[in-house]
């Protein structure tokens, strides 16, 4: 059974959650995947004790899994939060405190993609106040990423599930990434193209891919509707991956879906054994 694309990664914050975090890299490897991504694993701590970082690093390296994407501190995920960088006060402080920690952790594993979730609009606060803080924090994040040779990512979510999140179209996310690049002059801020969120928001995915592949630094996929495994909804992962490749995208496509049962069961349709993935 051929893979729909040879460069697929697994999101270990949504997949294999039936296992403790430190056991998930080995489970991904056993399922045939040697590339993974993570949300920031410590939602209450932007700078966890070094021993916890060391343990996670060892779990990834011992399993032979490569970390290809990491969220910067974003609050409680999964949960009510959608990022911290545009939220004044303690949330912004935690985001900034996380920057050197996450950048160094990513660098220690060869990870070159750091995702920065914007955060929800706050009632009673002018959007311009949040937007100014967001730009300031994204500039800091881009510089932190540049220090370790990484790319900063800006993601659009969908308004149906995240009604208070201001970036809900590819155009908005790409425009913000370009603005950060204009301020920093570094050129290392890019679009995270989450195909599920875009589809859930009603976007024409072929059009998004054709117009924005050049600005894209990372891609995520879940089927739509339902945010399930590939093949459970209406999206054709193989066709979308082929269109991305035809438009010049050479990076990873991370499977960031909600499994309906044991994670391994949902992966069997994609990859029967590790050898066929190589």
Whether 155 is a known active-site residue: answer yes
Write the DSSP symbol of residue 249: -
Question: Which of the residues 18, 23, 136, 155 is marked catalytic?
Answer: 155
Structure tokens at 13: 């914050």
| Contact predicate 51/22, CB 8 Å | no
Angle at 229 between CA 226 and CA 230, to 5 degrees: 105
| DSSP-derived secondary structure for 189-244 | EEEEEEHHHHHHTT--HHHHHHHHGGGEEEEEE--TTTS-STTSSS--HHHHHHHH
Question: Which of the residues 18, 161, 178, 256 is marked catalytic?
Answer: 256
The Cβ of residue 202 has, within 10 Å, a number of other Cβ atoms equal to: 11
Write the DSSP symbol of residue 36: E
| Cβ neighbours for 50, distance < 8 A, ≥ 6 positions apart | none
| Cβ neighbours for 62, distance < 8 A, ≥ 6 positions apart | 25, 26
Residue 255's SS3 state is: strand
Residues annotated catalytic, as ranges: 155, 256
């Amino acid at each position: 059974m051929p893979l729909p694309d040879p460069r697929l990664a697994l999101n270990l914050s949504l997949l294999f959650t039936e296992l403790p975090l430190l056991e998930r890299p080995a489970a991904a490897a056993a399922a045939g995947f040697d590339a993974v991504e993570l949300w920031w694993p410590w939602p209450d701590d932007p700078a966890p004790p070094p021993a916890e970082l060391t343990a996670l690093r060892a779990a990834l390296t011992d399993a032979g899994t490569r970390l290809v994407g990491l969220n910067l501190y974003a609050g409680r995920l999964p949960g009510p939060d959608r990022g911290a960088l545009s939220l004044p006060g303690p949330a912004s402080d935690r985001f900034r405190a996380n920057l050197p920690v996450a950048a160094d952790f990513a660098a220690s594993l060869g990870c070159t993609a750091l995702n920065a979730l914007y955060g929800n609009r706050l009632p009673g606060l002018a959007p311009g106040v949040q937007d100014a803080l967001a730009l300031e924090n994204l500039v800091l994040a881009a510089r932190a990423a540049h220090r370790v040779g990484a790319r900063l990512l800006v993601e659009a979510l969908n308004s149906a599930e995240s009604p208070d999140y201001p970036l809900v179209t590819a155009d908005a996310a790409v425009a913000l990434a370009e603005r950060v690049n204009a301020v920093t002059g570094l050129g290392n801020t890019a679009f995270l193209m989450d195909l599920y969120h875009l589809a859930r928001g009603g976007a024409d995915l072929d059009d998004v891919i054709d117009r924005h592949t050049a600005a894209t630094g990372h891609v995520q996929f879940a089927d739509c509707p339902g945010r399930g495994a590939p093949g459970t909804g209406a999206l054709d992962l193989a066709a979308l991956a082929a269109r991305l490749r035809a438009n010049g995208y050479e990076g990873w496509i991370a499977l960031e879906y909600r499994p309906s049962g044991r994670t391994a069961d949902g992966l069997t349709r994609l990859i029967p054994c590790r050898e066929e993935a190589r």
